[in-house]
Amino acid sequence: MQPSPPCGFIVACLVLLLTAMIPTVSAAEVAFSLGIGQAVMVGEYTVVLVGIKGTLPYYDLYRGSRFVARLPLDSGGPPKYSYANVDITTTGLAAGGTGATGIISVR
């Protein structure tokens, strides 16, 4: 009769196997200060400040080199824009509409 492996060994192997099967989630958050036409990269996304109309900043969102959206998607709304897994929160606008500060989150 062969000895059976210790129960703790089997449990440890199962935990390692299950851990290896769980996908990892990558998230990033970057604070930005952009002038018109300037860009910031977060993960695989690039955000460009296109312009400001009144108190509403407009951003172009690229995934890699592919344009995916101009935000906001409508002409109004709060200073937080979302598209897919990207959130852009504008925290301030420069006098004269020349720039914006905020936080970009990719989840």
Q: Is the residue at 41 inside a domain?
A: yes
Q: Is the residue at 52 inside a domain?
A: yes
Identify whether the C-beta of residue 100 lies closer than 8 Å to the C-beta of residue 92.
yes
Which pTM value belongs to this model?
0.72
Q: Is the residue at 11 inside a domain?
A: no
Q: Is the residue at 23 inside a domain?
A: no
Q: Which two tokens stand for residue 44?
A: 């695989």
Q: DSSP labels for 5-30? A: PPHHHHHHHHHHHHHHHSPP---EEE
Q: Which range of residues forms the domain containing residue 60?
A: 28-106
How does pLDDT run across 28-50, given as a tens digit for each residue?
999 999 999 999 999 999 999 99
Q: Is the residue at 15 inside a domain?
A: no
Domain count, the chain: 1
How does pLDDT run across 45-81, given as a tens digit for each residue?
999 999 998 888 999 999 999 999 999 877 666 678 9
